[in-house]
Amino acid sequence: MAVPNSTFSDDFVATAIARWANDALYDQIFDKTFLLNWLKRNQRPLSDGLKINEPLMYAQGTTAGSFTKGSTFVLADRAIATVAQYDWTTYGDGIATYPQDQMKMAGDSQKVNLLAAKMDNLQRGLLDAINTDLWATSWSDSTKLISIPAMIDTSTDIGGIDVSAQSWWAARAETTSEALSTARMGNTYNYCSLGQAGEAPDLLLTTQDLFEAYGELVLPYYRFSDARKGDIGFTSLRFMNADVAFDENCPSGYVFFLNGKYLKWTPHSDSAAKFLVWEGKPNDQIANTRILWGMFSLTCSRRSSLGYQSGKSAP
């Protein structure tokens, strides 16, 4: 609906919101925290599927080995793999614009400011909803993203697999209440990597207090990670081959060991780098609505490559 005697029409509003959703909103949200930016860089878009299937290797073949001339090989199929299944989750928020508000504003500049305020409010709401769910200390609602603490524990069933019956599916947990130490960090890091090249965690996330404590521990060897983090305003340290950073939503006393090879941000390909816009006109209101939404999930194909430490304090 066009506003009389004004160039600030509903077409302008629709175009502004669509461009913002396509060009800016996704980056504005996923560049706000270290975790979200890291997940975006490790994303793996998928184009279809009622569920997200992650093939898993849970057993080692037993027939490989040395042989001599004339030896025979066991060629029968071997059941050494299974699949973890993850649900898609959808997140969104809406903007409603009312012709009455547009008509009350004195000029186009004020109307632009009103629209900008609505879009800023939506951005903050989406960021808070996604980040809050990613850091929830427990998870049981399949309509929400699986949280980092739930993904990286030893008791939560993830991907439709009973972790109490399948111990190979559990992450590495170290729960000793003590001061943070590089020796203990190294122990968890090595358990998660199993000494294999390229299998080690590449990100350690913790609280601001423990991040600063770690900085003091390594002060004589202080060094930053690569320049990409500096470009987006994040500061990180290094531990072995991993970045170390903090997130304000990380639970107190925790250090999480993440591996981008196995922990993946999995968006639907239609919303891999943007939020989608659904437009509507309610029958019972003088209003125009836009729902901005995206469909994605957090998935894992090898929980034993992830780990956490809890009960840690500054030395």
Instruction: Tell me the domain boundaries of the chain.
Output: 10-57+83-313
- H/E stretch holding 12 reads helix 10-20
CATH top-level class for 10-57+83-313?
alpha beta
- For the chain, report the end-to-end CA distance as a whole number of angstroms: 63
Q: For tokens 């500061």, name the residue.
A: 235
What's the average model confidence in pLDDT over 297-306? 93
pLDDT, position 167:
87
Q: For tokens 């072995």, name the residue.
A: 240
What's the average model confidence in pLDDT over 252-265? 95
Q: How far apart are CA 32 and CA 147, in angstroms?
A: 18
CB half-sphere exposure, 9, CA atoms < 13 A: 8
What's the average model confidence in pLDDT over 59-74? 64
Tokens of 289: 């609505």
Q: How far apart are CA 42 and CA 153, in angstroms?
A: 21
CA pseudo-torsion sign 237, 239, 243, 245:
negative
DSSP code string of 89-149: EEEEEEEEE-HHHHHHSSSHHHHHHHHHHHHHHHHHHHHHHHHHHHT-S----TTSPPPHH
Residue 259 banded pLDDT, cuts 50, 70, 90: very high
Cβ proximity of 312 and 253 under 8 Å: yes
What's the average model confidence in pLDDT over 31-51? 89
Residue 90 amino acid letter = T
pLDDT, position 3:
42
Tokens of 132: 């809050």
pLDDT, position 98:
72
Q: In sequence order, what are the beta bridge partners of 265? A: 298
Tokens of 161: 């697999």
Residue 71 backbone phi and psi in degrees, to 5? -65, 150
Tens digit of pLDDT for each residue in 263-280? 999 999 998 888 988 887
| β-bridge pairing 203-206 and 255-258 | antiparallel
**pTM metric for this prediction:** 0.82
Say yes or no to pLDDT of 31 above 60: yes
Say yes or no to pLDDT of 230 above 50: no
Look at 12-16, 30-34, 64-68 and tell me which has the smallest mean pLDDT: 64-68
Which of 260, 267, 261 shows the shortest CA–CA distance to 294?
Answer: 267
Q: How far is CA 140 from the centre of its chain?
A: 17
